[in-house]
Amino acid sequence: MKPEELGTKEINTWCPGCPNFSILQAVKEALSNLANQGKLNIENVAMVTGIGCHAKIYDYLNLKGFYGIHGRTLPIAFGVKLGNPGLTVIGFGGDGDTYAEGMEHFIHNCRYNADLTMLVHNNQVFSLTTGQFTPTTEKGFKDGSSPLGLAEKPINPLVLAIEAGASFVARGFALDVPHLGELITQAVMHKGFSFIDILQPCIVYHKYSLPYFNKNVYKLENHDVTDFASALTRAREWDYSYEKDVKIPVGIFYKKERPVFESQWPQLKGAWSTIQRKINWQNVTKEFK
Amino acid sequence: MEKTILIGGAAGLGSAVTSHLIGKILCSLGYYVFDYRDYPSLIKGGNNFNVLRIADQPVYSHKQKYDIILALDQGTINLHKKDLKKGGLIFGNKETGPIVQKLQGPQILANDVLIGMFFKHFGVGLKIILAAVEKEFGSKSDLIKKAVEEGYQLVETKEKLKKGQLVKYFISGNEGISIGSIAAGMDLHLAYPMTPASPVLTFLAKRQLENNILVFQPENEIAVVNMALGASFTGAKVMVGTSGGGFALMTEAISLSGMADLPLVIYLAQRTGPSTGVPTHTAQGDLKFALNAGHGEFAKIVVAPGDAKEAIIRTQEAFYLSCKYRTPAIVLGDKHLGESNYTFDELEKSKLAAVSSPVNRASSYEHNALGHTVEDIASVIKGHERRIKKIALVEKEFLKFNPVSVYGPPAGEAGKGSNLIISYGSTKGAIIDALSSLKGFRFLQISYLKPFPKEAVRREIKKSRKVILIENSATGALADVIAEQTGIIIKNKILKYDGRPFISDDIIKNIKKVDED
């Protein structure tokens, strides 16, 4: 199949030139490639989104899908996996969505290690609500809700994910579609919780990101992805701030398989909807007699 | 024959386990037992107690005057002696202490000494008790059996319990909800621990493999309910369980269930609020919250079982309606229903089968038939009308599930008939037990709060003289619901908001007061 076969006829309402278009393209390329190699059945892919600019991707991808609510991509995606472990589940979230409203789910899903993929469109700003700060916005940022300038330092989601036990942690750059597509491919194929923080520079409410990324992003090389300590060190190279030019590594920081959540539950064999239940009422009630 | 027994002690001393075992043995002898559990929110210390009401006729509530107090500590005697009937007995540390010492066992053995004393007093054969102890405690029962035997030898038989005909079922409301969910064909139960709903979580978790269901405790209630909807998307049948505070966290996703057309069953066990309130005690203060939970307009089902047996059937109905109309259903219970044990001759399940199926698209946004996002005027209207139509469909179908029940003598002539008590949920037991002492009263139990059986309620009220609302709350919210649904204002309310359930004596006393007005 061709990547464009994964598209829909819905009118795209992202801003012209938004890097979200590139993320959409990378996803289509990754999934169509995997399908063409026989590694994936597109019918079995389910996407889950939160709410925000990123979530519009639900309308632009011709996949099974659940357009969720703000911050709840991960519990919904996890529930989809619990309901039918045979599905390939891909979650999409924003930075406010995943790291503010949904932070507790993010940390716990890193721990649970269910076999699902989480792609975060990180533009370091709430854009659909016209430009408020998020947990990854840099210190000093001024806008409608922070006119005095943001006092706090941003969090580093890669460090959090590695520490919390995610078994695949990567960073991508939206505008490098072939590289991002390769990261998504690897994330989807990884057995366990795969997380990619995607730098998606907002061209309306966070304009200085794009030139900064173009200048400073580089690809991780000579890095042992199974080395936990080294993964943390590389993840800390850039702290999501813009005070001075700092090189920003993209690529896989950490990748180490461990048993997935689903493997701990003997009863989790396939889709529950296919089970024909016959209730033995005598058995269920005998303990009360 | 009727006896009321109090078993108490500091938390951790074993009163709940002992009362349950005594209740179970009595049920096996054919007696009807109601077991009320009262405990503060602590792990060790305080005073936990259970009240066992035992009778040869069905009983659905407890009393507050005791024939026997089985005391695991002196505090129990100090606290409850005032409620001992004249000539009543106290078995306590004085009797159990020396035996526990002699057996060099743990303090908890006092329970078993008391069990031996209790059954000897009533002339129940030692073999029956030892068999029950072995069944309950299995391989670790040797020392326990010794303690029972020692207790048995300590007293004389003063009264003789006759063996009844039929072995009874002894079951709590929470267990009723649990096996109702199994009967409904539930696949997943998700819950974050919260009293008084968590016994359902632990009951189902323990039995998950034998029933081929999956029980999981996520990071919080928001995760619980959103995971439930994710699973529901794949066609799995899911129930979540919680109490007021956790339910508050779930309300955003209740609305998502309504918008995305995803079945969801929620067990809401009320406790004394607001906020943390009195967490291990009972109340019916969340009725309007349950009815109105979730922003926007969509169909919802709220059903309130009145005892453990109803809990089975009503939970099945909640699954059936939620799956058929793909909208959320709430099973509204409370601490008193959930944590009290009831006795029944039979446990029945309904024949209803809940059927769900996977969908390809689900959306929190207004969407068209393909699941794609729409914002244009015609589509927005269409979306609302599709959801509102479900309300009408549920309103039509729920009528076949006996949304109201009427107990007591028939009303007779319109306007001149008997008086009417109206209530819902766990107050049923105490009201039913009071009814035979109240001449000229009927009891209207409302089991469906949403949709509301307005025609039936209006009809019953119209053919009654005095109408009295009974509710375990400070405001009597059901009266407001009835006013909204039927236009009828109920002035007489008997309310209880001390965290404790009604007992029939309270009801009789208060009704007589209203009746004399």
Considering chain A, what is the average pLDDT of its residues? 97
Band of pLDDT at residue B413, cut at 50, 70 and 90: low
Question: Using a CB-CB distance cutoff of 8 angstroms, which residues of chain A are in contact with residue B227?
Answer: 75-76, 78-79, 82
Say whether A66 and B362 touch across the interface (CB within 8 A): yes
Residues 60-89 of A with CB under 8 A from B: 64-69, 72, 75-84, 87
Q: Are B171-400 and B403-516 in the same CATH fold?
A: yes
Candidates B167, B208, B371; nearest CB to A267: B208
DSSP character string of A165-234: T-SEEEEEETT-HHHHHHHHHHHHHSSS-EEEEEE---TTTSTTHHHHHHHHEEE--S--TT-HHHHHHH
Does residue B498 carry a pLDDT above 60? yes
Domain B403-516: CATH architecture, name and number where available: 3-Layer(aba) Sandwich (3.40)
Q: Of B226, B252, B342, which to mutate for an interface test with A (greatest number of A Cβ within 10 Å)?
A: B226
Please tell me the predicted confidence (pLDDT) of residue B163: 77
Band of pLDDT at residue B4, cut at 50, 70 and 90: very high
Does residue B414 carry a pLDDT above 70? no
Domain B171-400: CATH architecture, name and number where available: 3-Layer(aba) Sandwich (3.40)
Q: E strands within B255-296?
A: 264-270
- Determine the Cα–Cα distance for residues B467 and B476; give it in Å rounded to an integer: 13
Residue B166: closest C-alpha in chain A: A289
Average of per-residue pLDDT across B478-507 = 97
Average of per-residue pLDDT across B173-194 = 98
Q: What is the pLDDT of residues A3-19, one digit of tens each?
A: 999 999 999 999 999 99
Say whether B188 and A272 touch across the interface (CB within 8 A): yes
Instruction: Name the residue type at position B253.
Output: A
User: Domain boundaries in chain A?
Assistant: 15-288
Q: E strands within B277-375?
A: 301-303, 328-334, 341-344, 361-363
Cα of A134 to nearest chain B Cα, Å: 21
Domain A15-288, classified CATH 3.40.50.970, yes or no: yes
Average of per-residue pLDDT across B287-299 = 98
DSSP character string of B48-110: EEEEEEEESS---S--SSEEEEEESSHHHHHHHGGGEEEEEEEE-HHHHHHHHHHHT--GGGH
Is residue A272 within 8 angstroms of chain B, CB to CB?
Answer: yes
Say whether B232 and A79 touch across the interface (CB within 8 A): yes
Does residue B25 carry a pLDDT above 90? yes
Which residue in A217, A20, A42, A235 sits closest to A122, CA to CA?
A20
The residues, ordered by sequence, that sit 6+ positions from B207 with a Cβ below 8 Å of its Cβ are B182
Report percent pLDDT > 70 for chain B. Answer: 99
Report percent pLDDT > 90 for chain A. Answer: 100
- Interface predicted TM-score of the whole assembly (ipTM), two decimals: 0.98
Question: Using a CB-CB distance cutoff of 8 angstroms, which residues of chain A are in contact with residue B349?
Answer: 279, 281
Candidates A65, A69, A77; nearest CB to B252: A69
Please tell me the predicted confidence (pLDDT) of residue B210: 96
Select from 3.40.50.300, 3.40.50.10490, 3.30.300.30, 3.40.920.10 the CATH code of B2-154.
3.40.920.10
Q: What is the pLDDT of residues B349-375, one digit of tens each?
A: 999 999 999 999 999 999 999 999 999
Strands A248-255 and B2-11: unpaired
Cα of B226 to nearest chain A Cα, Å: 5
Residues 358-377 of B with CB under 8 A from A: 358, 360-365, 367, 371-373
Question: Using a CB-CB distance cutoff of 8 angstroms, which residues of chain A are in contact with residue B356?
Answer: 273
The phi and psi torsions of B448 (rounded to 5 degrees) equal: -105, 120
Residue A56: closest C-alpha in chain B: B373
Q: Is the pTM of this model over 0.90?
A: yes
User: Domain boundaries in chain B?
Assistant: 2-154, 171-400, 403-516
Please tell me the predicted confidence (pLDDT) of residue A56: 98
Does residue B176 carry a pLDDT above 90? yes
Average of per-residue pLDDT across A59-75 = 98
- Contact in structure between B189 and B240 (CB atoms under 8 Å): yes
Q: What is the pLDDT of residues A171-207, one digit of tens each?
A: 999 999 999 999 999 999 999 999 999 999 999 999 9
Q: What is the pLDDT of residues A197-256, one digit of tens each?
A: 999 999 999 999 999 999 999 999 999 999 999 999 999 999 999 999 999 999 999 999
Question: Using a CB-CB distance cutoff of 8 angstroms, which residues of chain A are in contact with residue B218?
Answer: 75, 78, 108
Tokens of B121: 């007093």
Residues 149-208 of B with CB under 8 A from A: 167-171, 175, 179, 182-183, 185, 187-188, 208
Does residue B417 carry a pLDDT above 70? no
Q: What is the pLDDT of residues B320-346, one digit of tens each?
A: 999 999 999 999 999 999 999 999 999
Q: What is the pLDDT of residues B69-103, one digit of tens each?
A: 999 999 999 999 999 999 999 999 999 999 999 99
Residue B448 gets which letter from DSSP? E
Candidates A59, A265, A272; nearest CB to B372: A59
B175 half-sphere exposure, CB direction, 13 A CA radius: 20
Please tell me the predicted confidence (pLDDT) of residue B416: 56
